[in-house]
Structure 1
Amino acid sequence: MYSVDRQQVVRNLVTKTESKIVLLVMDGIGDLPKDGKTPLQAAYKPNMDALARESDLGQSVPVLPGITPGSGPGHLSLFGYDSLKYNIGRGILEALGVGVKVEKRDVVARGNFATIKDGILVDRRAGRPASEESKKIVDLLSEKIKRIDDVDITFYPGKEHRFVVKFTGDNLFDEVADADPQKEGLPMEWAKALNPDSEKMADIVNKLIKQIEEVLKDQPKMNFALLRGFSKHPQLPSFEENYKLKAAAIATYPMYKGLAKLVGMDVLEAGQTTEEEVETLKKVWNEYDFFYFHVKKTDSYGEDGNFEAKVKVIEETDKAVKEILSLNPDVLIITGDHSTPALLKSHSWHPVPILLYSKYVRKGLSISYDEYECARGTLGTISALDIIPLALANAGKLDKYGA
Structure 2
Amino acid sequence: MDTLKNLIKKNDSKILLIVLDGIGDLPLKDGKTPLETAETPNLDTLAKKSALGLHIPVDYGITPGSGPGHLGIFGYDPLKINIGRGVLEALGAGFELKETDVAIRGNFATVKYENGIPIVVDRRAGRIPTEENKRLIKNLSENISQIEDAQIILKSGMEHRFVAVFRFPHLVSSEVETINDTDPQAIGKPPLKPLGKGEMAEKVSRIAEIFSQKVAELLKNEPKANYVLLRGFSVKPNLETFEERFGLKAGCIATYPMYKGLASLVGMKIIDFEGMDIKDEIKTLKREWQNFDFIFLHIKKTDSSGEDGNFDMKTKIIEEFDSFLPEILALNP
Q: Residues 228, 8 of structure 1: CA spacing in aligned structure 2 closer, same or farther, 3 A cutoff?
A: farther
Taking the aligned partners of 1:157 and 1:108, their CA distance within structure 2 comes to: 14
Deviations 1:54-95 (A, max 9, x none): 111111222222222110001101100111111100111111
- Counterpart check, 1:288 vs 2:299: no
Taking the aligned partners of 1:148 and 1:107, their CA distance within structure 2 comes to: 13
Between the two proteins, the alignment pairs up a number of residues equal to 323
**Which stretches of structure 1, 4 residues or longer, exceed 4 Å deviation after superposition?**
none
- Counterpart check, 1:94 vs 2:89: yes
Report what 1:63 is aligned to: 58
Deviations 1:325-363 (A, max 9, x none): 01111xxxxxxxxxxxxxxxxxxxxxxxxxxxxxxxxxx
Higher helix share: 2
Q: How does 1:210-221 map to 2 (within 5 A)?
A: 210-221=213-224
Alpha-carbon offset, residue 320 of structure 1 = 2.1
- Counterpart check, 1:259 vs 2:271: no
Q: How does 1:280-319 map to 2 (within 5 A)?
A: 280-319=284-323
Taking the aligned partners of 2:273 and 2:187, their CA distance within structure 1 comes to: 33
Does the CA-based 8 Å contact 1:248-1:266 persist in structure 2? Answer: yes
- More deviation, 58-67/234-243: 58-67
Q: Helix, strand or coil: the match of 2:290?
A: coil
Deviations 1:261-283 (A, max 9, x none): 11111111133111111111111
Taking the aligned partners of 1:178 and 1:196, their CA distance within structure 2 comes to: 18
Paired residue for 1:27, among 21, 27, 32? 21
Taking the aligned partners of 2:278 and 2:231, their CA distance within structure 1 comes to: 28
- The one-letter amino acid paired with 2:193 is W
Q: Helix, strand or coil: the match of 1:156?
A: strand
- The one-letter amino acid paired with 1:16 is K
Does the CA-based 8 Å contact 2:99-2:172 persist in structure 1? Answer: no
Aligned CA-pair RMSD: 1.2
- The one-letter amino acid paired with 2:31 is G
Does the CA-based 8 Å contact 1:153-1:167 persist in structure 2? Answer: yes
Taking the aligned partners of 1:38 and 1:116, their CA distance within structure 2 comes to: 33
Paired residue for 2:207, among 191, 194, 204? 204
- The one-letter amino acid paired with 2:74 is F
Report what 1:145 is aligned to: 144
Does the CA-based 8 Å contact 1:116-1:223 persist in structure 2? Answer: yes
- The one-letter amino acid paired with 2:261 is G
- Counterpart check, 1:163 vs 2:130: no
Does the CA-based 8 Å contact 2:86-2:103 persist in structure 1? Answer: yes
Report what 1:277 is aligned to: 281
- Counterpart check, 1:184 vs 2:187: yes
Percentage identity across paired residues of the two chains: 53
Report what 2:124 is aligned to: 125
Q: How does 1:318-397 map to 2 (within 5 A)?
A: 318-329=322-333
Taking the aligned partners of 2:202 and 2:324, their CA distance within structure 1 comes to: 48
Deviations 1:115-159 (A, max 9, x none): 011221111110001111111000000011111112111111111
Report what 2:232 is aligned to: 229
- The one-letter amino acid paired with 2:195 is K
Q: Helix, strand or coil: the match of 2:55?
A: strand
TM-score (ref. length: structure 1): 0.78
Report what 1:367 is aligned to: none
- Counterpart check, 1:39 vs 2:34: yes
Alpha-carbon offset, residue 207 of structure 1 = 0.9
Report what 2:10 is aligned to: 16
Deviations 1:311-333 (A, max 9, x none): 1111111122221001111xxxx
Report what 1:359 is aligned to: none
Alpha-carbon offset, residue 288 of structure 1 = 1.0
Taking the aligned partners of 1:276 and 1:188, their CA distance within structure 2 comes to: 37
Does the CA-based 8 Å contact 2:87-2:103 persist in structure 1? Answer: yes
Q: Helix, strand or coil: the match of 1:23?
A: strand
Taking the aligned partners of 2:40 and 2:107, their CA distance within structure 1 comes to: 34
Does the CA-based 8 Å contact 1:114-1:125 persist in structure 2? Answer: yes
Alpha-carbon offset, residue 171 of structure 1 = 5.6
Does the CA-based 8 Å contact 1:124-1:183 persist in structure 2? Answer: yes
List alignment gaps of at least 5 residues for structure 2. Answer: none
Q: Helix, strand or coil: the match of 1:242?
A: helix
Q: Helix, strand or coil: the match of 1:58?
A: coil
Q: Helix, strand or coil: the match of 2:213?
A: helix
Does the CA-based 8 Å contact 1:180-1:190 persist in structure 2? Answer: no
